[in-house]
Amino acid sequence: MDHGDWAYFEGQIVSIQEAKISVMTHAFNYGTAVFEGIRGYWNEDHENLYIFRLQEHIDRMLRNSNILMVRPKLSLTEIQDIIIELTAKNGFREDTYIRPVCYKSEHELGPRLHDVASDLVIYEIRLGDYVNISGLKVAVSSWRRLRDNAIPARCKATGAYVNSALAATEAKMEGFDEAVFLGEDGTVSEGSAENLFLVQNGVLITPPVTADILTGITRNTIIELARNELGLDVVERPVGRTELYVSDEMFFCGTGAQVAPVVEVDRRPIGTGKLGDVTITLQKLYFDVVQGKIEKYRHWCTPVYDR
């Protein structure tokens, strides 16, 4: 993996080789950590790297950290400043992925959350497309999405991603690109690590935040862009499995996935089986926004260099 030379670990920026945890670390043994995935996009014309919606990502991490009682002893602004400093020190001049992790750092036995010290680590890698953004073939998983009252998907807890790994592995071993989760009630939830949208008769439809999904920042971005820039109706409501098969278009979205069209579900073509017009338009608009090309949305893009 093409990582940066520097990481934030135990209160300071250190060489990536120094950013090591013990095998006894609580988070390693019990999955007691909350993380964020944040992208930085290189704009060649501006000669700058733009971190997309940095404040929103850190705010979400701090809110989610409260669920696991793993909140770090740093403010939102302090964490933002550390990320900007770290990214500049790594000197990235290409698209970048930033991973801050709030974790239970003590060497303690017992899967509890209270009275266990926490810490923050941040590392960065160079990252292009995480999934195929030109047309995915997916399958509905036999694994169900974790319920909010079991292990909340909204939390981005590291341990919860065993659920995602099971679904994604099943799909890929069966020859598909990705998986779609159903919730315990049988309605559509999301992908293994992506939110999901459908287009039906010109209306954009997505499962609600109560469908055991991650409340995605990219999801919120797509909703805003679809409404304000394309004039689309956007409806958040429960989605039945068979609605996937009869929709005109479908796509995943997320920090990793970006905007990734889906052309086939369970070996059934979606619409024409090719990329749809709404998806193509939203994908292009999204990339223009995250690369800082649209002044109206530049406030979402934090520059790393020449601030």
| Assigned fold of 6-126 | D-amino Acid Aminotransferase; Chain A, domain 1 (3.30.470)
The predicted structure's pLDDT at residue 197? 98
Active-site residue, 20 included: no
Beta bridge pairs of residue 33 = 103
Would you kindly state where each structural domain of the chain is located, as residue ranges?
Answer: 6-126, 136-290
Q: Which CATH superfamily is domain 136-290 in?
A: D-amino Acid Aminotransferase, subunit A, domain 2 (3.20.10.10)
Residue pLDDT tens, the chain, 307 long = 689 999 999 999 999 999 999 999 999 999 999 999 999 999 999 999 999 999 999 999 999 999 999 989 899 999 999 999 999 999 999 999 999 999 999 998 999 999 999 999 999 999 877 777 889 999 999 999 999 999 999 999 999 999 999 999 999 999 999 999 999 999 999 999 999 999 999 999 999 999 999 999 999 999 999 999 999 999 999 999 999 999 999 999 999 999 999 999 999 999 999 999 999 999 999 999 999 999 999 999 999 997 6
The predicted structure's pLDDT at residue 1? 61
Selected catalytic residue, list 20, 73, 104, 156? 156
pTM to 2 decimal places: 0.96
